[in-house]
C-alpha cells in the first residue's frame, strides 16, 4: 500500500485536523470586534459543523474498509468507524449547543470551537489506534484540550479548580497507564496490540508482570470512562466545567475510554483471569455508587455526573459479557446514551444561559416557561431511566439480554435493581419540571441549541421505537473486534 492510499484511509482525521486550524485562521482574518462578545462569530461554529459533517461523510464512504496502516499503528475497521461517527456526532451537537452559551463564561469563541474539534481528533485517533504509544499520544491529544476547555471560564474560580483537578487526574491515570504499557512492552518486546495478542497466545503460562500490566491499562481507562472506584474526580469536574464542556466530557471522553478499552480487553482475554468477574464488579460498583450518589444531589450537573457514573456501569455490563453480542449491545447503548444525555445537557445549557443557575430547584415550573424544553428534558431523563418507548429501554434490554446469555445473571439483577433506584431521581426532576411552581418568564431557545436538542430527542425516540438499523450497525462494528466470528 502506498502512502497516498494510506493517507486516503485517514481522510476523516485529516479533515478534522484541518477544520480546527481553519477555525483559528478564519478568526485571525476576520476577528471579532473588540467589545462584541463571543456570540458575534457563530459562523465559526458552523464552519466547524460543516468540517465535521464532511469528516462524517468520509467515514461513511470508508465504511466496510478493513486495513492496518503503518505497521499496525492505525487500524481502519468498522469498530473504529462506529466510534468515529459517535465522536463526530458529539462534536457537532456540542458546537451547536455552545453557540448561544459562550457568553455566560468567556469572551473568546474561536479557540473554544477549535479545541472541541481537536479534542475530537484525539478521540478519533484513540478509536483507531492499534499500538500502545499511539494510544498514549492520542490520549494526550484529548486530555490537553480538555484541561483548557474545563478551565475556560477564567473569571470563575470553580472552573479553574475543576481544570486543576482534571489535570491531576490525567497525570495520575496517565502515569498508571504508562507504567502498564512499559511492563507489557518490557515483557513481550512489542507494542502493537495485534502482536501482543499473538505473543500471549503463544505463551503457555502468562507471568504476573504481564497480568499486572494489563490491569494497570484497565485502570487507566477506568479513569476515562468514569467507572468506580476511579470516579471521584467526576462530580467536581462536571460541576465546575462550563456547561457545554460538561456535555462534551460526559459522552465524548467516556466513549473514548471505551474505544480504547475494547481493543485492549479483547487482546487481554488471552490472559487467564476472571475478566467476567473483574469487569462485572466494576460495573456493579459503578452502578451502585453512581445511583446512590445521584439521589442526594441538588445541582443537576452533579446529578448527571453521578448518573453518568452509573451509566458507565451499564455500559460495562455489556463489556463484561465479553461476547461479540455484548459489545454490540454496548455500542448500541453508547449511541442511546449519547442522544439522551446530550438532550438533557442541551436543556441545561439553554436553561443556565437564561437563568444563570443549574440548581434542580430552579427547574420548577419549566413546563410553563418553555413547554418544549420541559418535554425534551422529560424524554431525555425517562430514556436515561430506561423506560420503554425510549432509546434507553432498548439499550438496557439489549445489554442485559446478552449479559444473561453470557451467564452474568447476578450482574443483571444488580443492574435491574439499580435501574429502579435511578428512576427515583430522574422522575423527581420530571416532577419538579412539570408540577412544582416556579419563576415566571418565558425561556427562549437559540436556533443552534434548538436544532441540537431536536436532533437528540428525535434520536432517543427513533432508537426507542425502531432500533433495528442502529443495532445492526453496532453488531457489525462489534464483529470487527472479534475477527468476524
Partner 1 sequence: MTLPQILAFTILVPLAGGVLIAIIPRSLARWARPVAITVSGLTLAMATYLWVSFDGTSSDMQFELIHDWVPGIGTSFHVGVDGLSMPMVFLTALLTVVAIVASSKIKDLVREYFTLLLLLEAGLMGVFVALDMILFYVFWEVVLIPMFFLINIWGGPRRNYAAVKFFIYTLAGSLAMLGGIIALYLSTGAVTFDMLELATDAASLSAATQTAIFVAIAFALAIKVPIVPFHTWLPDAHVEAPTAVSVLLAGVLLKMGSYGFLRLGPQLLPEGFRALVPVISVLAVISIVYGAAVALMQTDLKKLVAYSSVSHMGYVMLGIAAGTTAGVLGASVQMFSHGLIAGMSFLLVGALYERAHTREMGAFGGIAKVTPVLAGTLVFASFASAGLPGMSGFIGEFLVILGSFEPYTWFAALAGLAVVLTAGYLLWMLRRVVFGQLNEERAAMPEMTLTEAIALAPLCIGTIVVGIFPQTLVGTMQASIEAVARIVGR
Binding site for partner 1 (CB under 8 A): 367, 371, 375, 382, 387-389, 393-394, 397-398, 400-401, 404-405, 412-413, 416-417, 419-420, 423, 427, 431, 434-435, 466-468, 471-472, 475
In the bound complex, what is the minimum distance in angstroms from residue 164's beta carbon to partner 1? 41
Q: How far is the CB of 324 from partner 1 (least distance, A)?
A: 13
Q: Nearer to partner 1 by C-beta: 171 or 417?
A: 417
Cα separation, 170 vs 144, whole angstroms: 9
In the bound state with partner 1, the residue whose beta carbon lies nearer, of 213 and 385, is: 385
Contacts of 466 (CB under 8 A, 6+ apart): none
Among residues 248 and 398, whose Cβ is nearest to partner 1?
A: 398
Beta bridge partners of 299: 359
Cβ neighbors of 362 (< 8 A, separation 6 or more) are: 351, 355, 438, 439
Nearer to partner 1, 186 or 371 (CB): 371
Q: What is the largest CA-CA distance in the chain?
A: 71
Cβ closest to partner 1, residue 276 vs residue 368: 368
Is 391:336 a contact under the CB 8 Å cutoff? yes
Question: By CB neighbour count within 10 A (0-12 exposed, 13-18 middle, 19+ buried), where does 155 fall?
Answer: exposed
**Least gap, CB of 404 to partner 1 (angstroms):** 6
What is the C-alpha to C-alpha distance for residues 459 and 339, in angstroms, rounded to an integer?
6
Give least dist CB 395 to partner 1, A.
12
Output phi, psi for 68, to 5 deg.
-120, 120
User: At its nearest, how many Å lie between partner 1 and the CB of residue 288?
Assistant: 16
- In terms of phi and psi (left: phi > 0; alpha: psi -120 to 50; beta: otherwise), the region of 70 is left
Give the nearest distance from C-beta 258 to partner 1 in angstroms.
21
Q: Which is nearer to partner 1, 281 or 375 (CB)?
A: 375
- Measured from the CB atom, the residue of 253 and 419 that comes closer to partner 1 is 419
Q: Which residue has the cell 469528516?
A: 55
Q: Give the nearest distance from C-beta 474 to partner 1 in angstroms.
A: 10
Nearest-approach distance from CB 413 to partner 1, in angstroms: 8
Closer to partner 1 at the Cβ: 139 or 473? 473
Q: What are phi and psi of 63, to 5 degrees?
A: -65, 145
How many Cβ atoms sit within 10 Å of the Cβ of residue 313?
29
Least Cα distance to 479 among 23, 1, 81, 10 occurs for 81
117 near 51, Cβ under 8 Å? yes
Amino acid at each position: 500500500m502506498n502512502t497516498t492510499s494510506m493517507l486516503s484511509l485517514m481522510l476523516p482525521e485529516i479533515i478534522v485536523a484541518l477544520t480546527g486550524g481553519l477555525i483559528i485562521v478564519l478568526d485571525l482574518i476576520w476577528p471579532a470586534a473588540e467589545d462584541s462578545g463571543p456570540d458575534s462569530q457563530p459562523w465559526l461554529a458552523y464552519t466547524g459543523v460543516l468540517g465535521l459533517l464532511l469528516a462524517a461523510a468520509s467515514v461513511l464512504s470508508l465504511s466496510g474498509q478493513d486495513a492496518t496502516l503503518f505497521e499496525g499503528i492505525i487500524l481502519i475497521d468498522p469498530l473504529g468507524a462506529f466510534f468515529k461517527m459517535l465522536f463526530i456526532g458529539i462534536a457537532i451537537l456540542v458546537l451547536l449547543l455552545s453557540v448561544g452559551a459562550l457568553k455566560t463564561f468567556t469572551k473568546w469563541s474561536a479557540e473554544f470551537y477549535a479545541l472541541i474539534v481537536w479534542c475530537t481528533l484525539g478521540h478519533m485517533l484513540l478509536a483507531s489506534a492499534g499500538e500502545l504509544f499511539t494510544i498514549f499520544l492520542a490520549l494526550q491529544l484529548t486530555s490537553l484540550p480538555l484541561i483548557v476547555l474545563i478551565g475556560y471560564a477564567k473569571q470563575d474560580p470553580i472552573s479553574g479548580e475543576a481544570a486543576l483537578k482534571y489535570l491531576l487526574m490525567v497525570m495520575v491515570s496517565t502515569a498508571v497507564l504508562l507504567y502498564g504499557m512499559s511492563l507489557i512492552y518490557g515483557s513481550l518486546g512489542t507494542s502493537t496490540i495485534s502482536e501482543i495478542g499473538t505473543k500471549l497466545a503463544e505463551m503457555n503460562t502468562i507471568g504476573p508482570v504481564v497480568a499486572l500490566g494489563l490491569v494497570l491499562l484497565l485502570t487507566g481507562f477506568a479513569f476515562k470512562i468514569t467507572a468506580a472506584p476511579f470516579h471521584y474526580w467526576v462530580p467536581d469536574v462536571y460541576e465546575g466545567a462550563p456547561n457545554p464542556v460538561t456535555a462534551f466530557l460526559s459522552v465524548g471522553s467516556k466513549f473514548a475510554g471505551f474505544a480504547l478499552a475494547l481493543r485492549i480487553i479483547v487482546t487481554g482475554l488471552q490472559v487467564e483471569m476472571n475478566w467476567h468477574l473483574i469487569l462485572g464488579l466494576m460495573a456493579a460498583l459503578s452502578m451502585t455508587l453512581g445511583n446512590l450518589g445521584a439521589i442526594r444531589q441538588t445541582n443537576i450537573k452533579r446529578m448527571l455526573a453521578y448518573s453518568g457514573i452509573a451509566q458507565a456501569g451499564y455500559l460495562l455490563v455489556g463489556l463484561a459479557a465479553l461476547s461479540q453480542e455484548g459489545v454490540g449491545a454496548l455500542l448500541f447503548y453508547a449511541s442511546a446514551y449519547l442522544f439522551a444525555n446530550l438532550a438533557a445537557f442541551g436543556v441545561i445549557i439553554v436553561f443556565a444561559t437564561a437563568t444563570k443557575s443549574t440548581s434542580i430547584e430552579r427547574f420548577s415550573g419549566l413546563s410553563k416557561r418553555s413547554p418544549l424544553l420541559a418535554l425534551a428534558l422529560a424524554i431525555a431523563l425517562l430514556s436515561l431511566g430506561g423506560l420503554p418507548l425510549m432509546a434507553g429501554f432498548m439499550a438496557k434490554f439489549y445489554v442485559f439480554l446478552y449479559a444473561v446469555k453470557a451467564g452474568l445473571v447476578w450482574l443483571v439483577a444488580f443492574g435491574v435493581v439499580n435501574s429502579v433506584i435511578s428512576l427515583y431521581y430522574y422522575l423527581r426532576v420530571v416532577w419538579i419540571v412539570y408540577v412544582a411552581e416556579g419563576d415566571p418568564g418565558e425561556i427562549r431557545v437559540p436556533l443552534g441549541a434548538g436544532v441540537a436538542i431536536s436532533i437528540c430527542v428525535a434520536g432517543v425516540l427513533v432508537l426507542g421505537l425502531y432500533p433495528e438499523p442502529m443495532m445492526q450497525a453496532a453488531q457489525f462494528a462489534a464483529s470487527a473486534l472479534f475477527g468476524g466470528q
